Structure 1
Amino acid sequence: MGGTRDAAKLPRVLTILCLFLLPQTGSVLEVTAPSPHVAQKGSDTLIPCTFRIDPFPADPKLLNIKWHFNGQIRLSCTDSEVSATDPRFSLDPNSALLGEASLSVSNAQISDGGTYSCSVTYGTEWQEKEIRLEIQAPPQINITNKLVTENKESALSAAITGFYPVDIDIKWLREGEILAGRTELPPQRNADGTYRVTSTVTIVPTEGNQNFSIRVQHESLSAPLQEDFQLLYEAAPMMNISHGPFYVNEEQTLMCRVWGYYPEAIAVSWFLNGSRVEPSEIKRINSSALELPYRFLPTAESQGMEISCVVEHQALTEPLVQSLKVELTDAKWSLTKRRVVGIIIIIISLVAALCLGFVILRQKKKEDVVQPQGRGGFVVPQELPHSEGREGLNPRLIHILLRDCNIRHSLEEQED
């Protein structure tokens, strides 16, 4: 019986002896880890975890620190040796001896957000605290359309990208007043874990430059993000085709001129009987005008073919088209007609010149005739003009003078 009682006491004695032989830490371990902890995407952050013992510094042989993320170990520090599963995670072993067990995370990503646990063991004491890491990413605004048509229903649109978490508030404003009719598509997830969303608002723009804004509120922002802008008014293009007569086997260049459009993006094409043809290189005159040539060689089979220039632009509800029919002209007959017309023009010019010369000559003759009174009272020219092209007196002038002389001589005889 005595031997049995002694055997029963032996484990208790050994337990007391073991406790007595364990190192004494001096005070109770206390771990502190405030939660949640917020970090910006892409930043370097320190997830806080501290502990207290007495006295400091801690004995590295008694200290063990471990960090877990969503139940998976990420880092451990034992006897001042640090081991991490991700090179972006680190801990300062020297600071750990003074009670600093915080986990350093470089280039924090959306995937790093979640629940972390910081466990500290010192000697026989152990404590663990959970910390929630919240990653935030601020939004960026990209206005994707501010091009409108005056007095016509138009849509403004913007892409809000790169934000996290998903909740976001978007408003459109005109002259500081909130616009109704805003719509957003469901947010989409980006490859890096952030979100993007497209917002649109429909307006009917009127004449004049009005100030518009888009304002975004998000928990990652200390103040609302706002971008101001003014509308751009689109203009529809105008066009015309210039060409000469079509002669068989005589190549000519047709020119399609387009102007007055905005924005600059535009498509211009040539079509022959409904099939697109390869034109020459576009010649841009300025940001709102261009010329597109097309070299065309008519054949006998080209009669009646349709050549079209087609313009596509976002200010147009449908393509702008101008067409012409190929009407062949006989080259020989055309040359004859041109010669005849030339000859007629020359003849008319010569006749006009002769008439003008005759008028000038007649006027000069009148100026050269002197009118002294002779015996019979008739006019005697001092010098009689010569006929054009030959010497001698002008026959018609002589006839007039003789007739006048005869008449006056008859009168004188009657008076006598």
Structure 2
Amino acid sequence: MLFFISASPLLYLLHFVCPRPLICKTFSHLSLFSHPSRCARSATSARAPSDTSAPCPFSHLSPRVPSATSTPCPFSHLRNRAPSATSEGASPHPLVSQCLPHYPCMMKPMRLIAEEDPDMEGPPWHRHSLDVPAGGVLKLVAPTFHRARMGSDVLIPCTFTIDKPPVDTGQLALSWRFQEREVLTYNNKMNSTHPRASINTARIKDGDVSLYISNTTISDGGIYTCSMSYSVERQDKEIRLDIDDLSVKHRVAVGVASFVTVLLAAAAIFLVYHRRHKKRNIPRVQEITRCGDGTFSLDVGRFAPKDISFSWHLIQPPSSTEKQQLESTLIMSENQDGTFNATSTCDNLRGKVNVSQPYTIQAAVTHPRLKQPVCKEWTSDLQDGYKLRPIVTRPLQLSLCDPGEVLCSLNLESFYPKHIDISWSCDTGQSQKDISSQEKYLENPDQSYNAESACKIPGDSLKDPEFKVIVRWKHETMEDWESRELCVRDPGFPWRPNITDMSPLIILPNQQTRLKCTVSGYFPDVLTVMWFMKNARQETIPVSNGSKYEIPEISREKMSDNTYTCTSTLCFTPTSNSEEKEFICRVSHPSLEEPIERSTGLARTKVSPTVTEPIKFSLCGSGDVLCSLYVSKFYPKDINITWTSGRDQINKIKSVEKCIKISDETTCNAISECRIKWDQSLFPLQVTWNHESMEEPEYKELRITDFPWIPTVGEISVPALYVGSECTMQCDINNYYPDNNLTVTWIKEKGGQRLMVSPNIRVEHPSLKPPIERRTERLHVMAAPVMVSPIQFLLSKSGNVECFLQLNKFSPEDITIKWTSTGKQNEDPILYDQKAVTEQSDSLYSTVNWCKIPWRQFLRSVTVTWHHVSLDEPEHRELHITDFPWRPVLGEIEIEALRDGTESKLQCKISGYFPNALTVTWLKEKEKESNEWVNVKNDPHYKIPDLQHEKQQDHTYSCTARLDFTASYESDDGAAFICMVEHPSQEGPIERSTGPLQVNKINELCALNQRKNTK
């Protein structure tokens, strides 16, 4: 009987249906072939079992792997990328767990790289990603895994973005590695060591550096790393490529002894197939992964259709009910079976999170196959908080100090916590020496930190081209030290020499010719200048100081910025048969890889004038405009410069011409000046110069728009705009001429909402081609919220107090309302329900805010606070129990006919109160008409029954206060009683009085009755 099945799925299936001894026994009868790429990894990573361990029974699974001393275990490749199987908290692969007691190779630290089962919710190590922290410039995005079919062409996706496009490929360096072996690099040119690997260089400027591999084979499967550097930023991304082998079938010969095992495996396959069919295409949402660069990512695999959406929120502190929405980036890839994988990465949290408080990141996934969105959360530890990796936004900075020292500085930005280690050293090529440094720290508004570290080195040390300055730093967010280094030949070195001026070669027989070469902006002061001569045969001959040529000592000058400028001079006297045709000045400096040079140009007897500077304008005290043209380095001396005006250039303007002759130079310079009054009809203005060395005159045409006095228009300053109040908007306009030709127009955008305004200003001037416009954003005309009526109270069935706050006539519509209960130590937030803000007919807004509060919180204080942009400070109202409208109402005291020696009672009806915390006190006048009262509570002659509170339909309470006693003519006749009621809603007690009581004696009653009967 023949049965074809892949080894890895069979192992996984047998885990569910067979105990470990049965699995091991079964494999003694099977001949399985391992994945070739994994066998290769086994050969490099496996270790032989110890002498006391039994040889691995699965060694026959790797027939292609040679072994020096023993057969390596075919599962040793599982150690390559999985957590330690024996480490605390680790969850090893089920098959690994079964084999651990028997095969020591499985006990070593490992990281599982398994083929993704589309039907199983795989363990967390089923997929992985390595995210290297990003800075503020570069962001690299790639999936954690990708699949391809053997023999097909595959594109491993990897894209990037920068914060300041377009992409400058001169600052970009790219490297693709496979299993830590470099397969492709790009640095202005692609270099591939893999014959089937390439990238589309035309797509790099669009942010696409995906790796293309043609005709994939099984050996192409594994870990690919995309490493990219841009400017000073660097990022890495790992992508696992899985190759599906559909052309090679692994044949398993099953004997009669394993027939039962195969049946069990077939049953397991059926169960798995049934589960796959049941859960097909449902998104598999993993847990949120925290990346080292301050971002978070969420992977979703094996879903269809393609439509999927992610939403990210920041909650801080985790108990808060307010959520801050985060932007995110989505990258998707398609599997061979038509399903899709997606990785969503939220933006960096820099500046959005308080680093000293814990927080929660929440991600929700929505898909048509999900009945409801799947929500995942990640919460930081109290001790952890939000850690930020330092960012290097610019290279090492160098500046010159007066004593000839060089100040080196490095800026590290936006890191947290504050502690960071920074060290400086210098490397001469033979030894390395530490340098002391000073650090300055600055706390940012988001509670992260910036650090500036600086050290000084001797300026003379830069004379050595091999000298390097190295700075290293380490932060707890970094796995290893990072560094930057700088030497004089690095592209960022700021003080390289420049040849700023070179004399032309003018040959006049028997007259001395003087050539000058000026070099500026260099440091350190170690410069070599050499002269070379070219003859008619184009031979370059070095020129040295001697009888024919005179090269004076170079004159050096230290400039105000502590750099140096020097001038090298070459003098000689040509003859009628001189062979000098051209001279070259060559400059060498430690900062230069190759010398720089400048040529005089070919020898000549005439030199055409050059105009290197634009025409200059200056205002005279009389209001005239002085125009100046500077013409330089011409020979011979005579030159003609004219100024004309008007469209036809027929009006000649009077001008003054000055010729400047430098004593030791052959060439001449000239300045031509003319004065014009402001008259728009003069323009365009034209200046023309002509010289005998020129074939035809040259000219420059000037228009009013060439004036340097172009209006500078500032931003519109906008005060707070309130309904019904005046406001002034202003815009500063400076630096314009003339002053009588400026037109300013204020424009209000037409349409829109009644309380929205967008003012614009348009400035027109003759010196402007298009007018300058400034505009504000759409401005809200603000109105402060008004509380037109006191806060309303209602009682609920549960006995809680419902509070209603109504705010009217405010704009804009955004308003924040918060209810808090003031305790003994802090404020506790109260949940509330804010009804929608509604717009009124006058374009203002109103809102009703409802809150349900236990009445006991009013015994302390309940505060409602509202904040609106129109308010300088939030407004609030404090509520106490004395604000309750449910205060007790006392009826009149009911008095029965009182007879001496008979049981009697006084009672008073009390109603309409809440809560039922009511206190009733009965007082008796001490002596008749004494106005002194005593509490009868402790008098045994009087009894006060307990109050019976009855709840009414309006949820308030009512009761009857009663005083029972035996009436006594001697003590009660003529006495007065008071019923005094105290309630939390009352600031003081309320009371009712009986007035003097009348107690009748029994004999008096009898006589009275007899008189009535006689009548």
> How would you bin the TM-score normalised by the shorter chain?
0.3 to 0.5
More helix by share: 1
**TM-score of the superposition, structure 2-length normalised?**
0.18
Structure number with higher relative contact order (C-alpha < 8 Å, ≥ 6 residues apart): 1
- Kindly name which structure, 1 or 2, has the bigger radius of gyration based on alpha carbons: 1
**TM-score of the superposition, structure 1-length normalised?**
0.41
